[in-house]
Each structure stands twice: as C-alpha cells, then as structure tokens.
Amino acid sequence: MVLLIGLIIGLVLGLTGAGGSVFAVPLLMLMGGLSMGDAVGISLGAVAASTLYGSIRNWRGKNILWVPGVILAVTGAFTAPLGKWLGMQIPELWLLVGFNALAIIIALRMWLSATRTPERARVVRAGNFSAEPSPGLLCNLSKTGQFELRPRCVSGLVIGGTLVGLLSGLFGVGGGFLIVPLLLALSPISMAQAVSTSLIIIAVISGSGFVSHLVMDQELSGWVLALVGLGGVLGMMLGQAISHKIANAMLQKLFSICLIAVSITTLVIHH
C-alpha cells in the first residue's frame, strides 16, 4: 500500500506542475495510517527523492536558473528545520486544520491557473524542457553578462525561500506552488524555466526538512520511507512517459477537485 502511495505522490508531483506534493500527507494519513507528524516526515523524504530524480534528468538543460535557484534553495534549507520545530509546538489538530486550509488554497489556485492560463498546464515537472525557449533570466544581467544581485531581487528571493522552507518543514509540502509563481513574478522567464528550476529548489528544501525530522523525531519507519520514496521515483518516471500526452488544464482541474476532497476527508476522519 505504501508503495502505491509513493507512486501516486510521484505521478501527481510530475503531472501538476506545482502543488502536487501536497497530496502526500493526507494520502499517508488516510491510506497509510500514519500520524500527521510521521506523514510530514515521510512526505518530505518522498518528495526529495522524486524531485532529485527529476533534477538529475534536467541537469544539463538550459532552463535551470542557477543563481536564483541557489538563493531560494539555501534560504529554504536553513528555515525548514525551524518549520519542523514550530510544528512540534503546535497541537496536531491545529496543525491538521492549517495543513488542510493550505491544501484547499493550493487546489483553488490550481483551478484558477488552469482556467486563466491553460497553456501553462502543459508544462510539468516530469516533462523534458530542453526544447523550450529561454527568453531571459531572473532579474537583470550586467553588460558583461553576469547576474546582477540587486537588493530588491535578492530580498524577494530570500523572503520567498524563507516562507517556502517554513511551510516545507511545518507541513511537509514541497513548495512548488510558491516557487513557480514567485520566479514568474520576479522575472520575464518562461514557465519551463520556472518549473525546471523549482525541481532543484524543492529537492534541497525537502531534503533539509526531512533531515530535520530525522534529527528531531527519530521514530520514522525506514521501511515505509524506502517504499514511499521508491514509489515516488517510479511515479515521476511514469509522469515522464505520459506527461506530453495527458498534461492539460482539465487534468489540473481534476487534481484540484481531488485535493479538496482528500483534504476534507482527512480533516473529518482525524478530527
């Protein structure tokens, strides 16, 4: 069962472009019988494994924005343990309510994005971005072609990375639902660049959050983690094979409906 959960996590993560990892926690609670604390830790491990695989696949691509990616990833990696610590101070019921509220917000955003910009739904994390156009880089470039670390640009990236890291450690979400729109809002880049860069950022931040869970809460089952992680990688591989055929706005809307249904069910059952 947990292998199937991992497969679903990896597949959804690959096909939704952003926000797919938020399925992990409720599925692990509903189908895996885990507590929210354990589900968050396992989720981070599975998401880190899946996105690391996707990152390696696109490592040589021209769409990865390394400088902003490193800033976001490092900032988020530092704050993810703080998110885990905060989660340990909050009663599980309130943590569950907060997570499901966030999940519903992500689902609504997915629906609106698919409605307003349906063409972006075809650019997913499992896709191959090598043939996508590269209209520009985040922020500005100097006359010598070097990346300009202007204060407003860096501060925006640091604030974004901090928020993503906190949410990742607190709720076990990858943060793609924030990273992708943040990159698009701060720069004239393509959707493919934002999605491709987000893979590496999510892998680093989720990895940091997962390590913090191991350090602060050593009760995670290694066997469950291994199966869910393996399923996540297999799901990402499956997403690679079928994303160009089925990735569209209707699929993203379907995922958003499923996410709302799963979130409400989880809240009702574990109330």
Predicted local distance difference test score (pLDDT) of residue 35: 81
pLDDT tens digits, 8-35 = 777 776 666 555 567 778 888 888 788 8
pLDDT, average across residues 173-192: 74
Predicted local distance difference test score (pLDDT) of residue 54: 74
Q: Is the pLDDT of residue 51 over 70?
A: yes
Q: Is the pLDDT of residue 46 over 70?
A: yes
* Residue 171 CA, distance from chain mean position: 11
Q: What SS3 state is found at 158?
A: helix
Q: Is the pLDDT of residue 84 over 70?
A: yes
Name the pLDDT band for 62 (thresholds 50, 70, 90).
low
Predicted local distance difference test score (pLDDT) of residue 139: 64
DSSP 8-class letter at 139:
S
Name the pLDDT band for 196 (thresholds 50, 70, 90).
confident
Residues 6 or more apart whose CB falls under 8 angstroms from that of 155 comprise none
Residues 6 or more apart whose CB falls under 8 angstroms from that of 84 comprise 40, 169, 170, 209, 212, 213, 216, 217
Residues 6 or more apart whose CB falls under 8 angstroms from that of 147 comprise 67, 137, 139, 141
pLDDT, average across residues 190-203: 80
Name the pLDDT band for 179 (thresholds 50, 70, 90).
confident
Q: How far apart are CA 136 and CA 139, in angstroms?
A: 9
Dihedral sign computed on CA atoms, order 224, 230, 232, 234? negative
Q: How far apart are CA 222 and CA 149, in angstroms?
A: 41
Q: What SS3 state is found at 15?
A: helix
Q: What SS3 state is found at 187?
A: coil
Predicted local distance difference test score (pLDDT) of residue 136: 45
Q: Is the pLDDT of residue 137 over 60?
A: no
| Between 236 and 169, the higher pLDDT residue | 169
Contact status, residue 100 vs residue 263, Cβ threshold 8 Å: yes
Predicted local distance difference test score (pLDDT) of residue 255: 76
Predicted local distance difference test score (pLDDT) of residue 168: 87
pLDDT, average across residues 175-186: 76
| Between 73 and 236, the higher pLDDT residue | 73
Alpha-carbon distances of 248 from 18, 104, 112, 121, 157, rounded to whole Å: 13, 20, 13, 5, 29
Q: How far apart are CA 42 and CA 228, in angstroms?
A: 8
Name the pLDDT band for 96 (thresholds 50, 70, 90).
confident
Q: Is the pLDDT of residue 270 over 80?
A: no
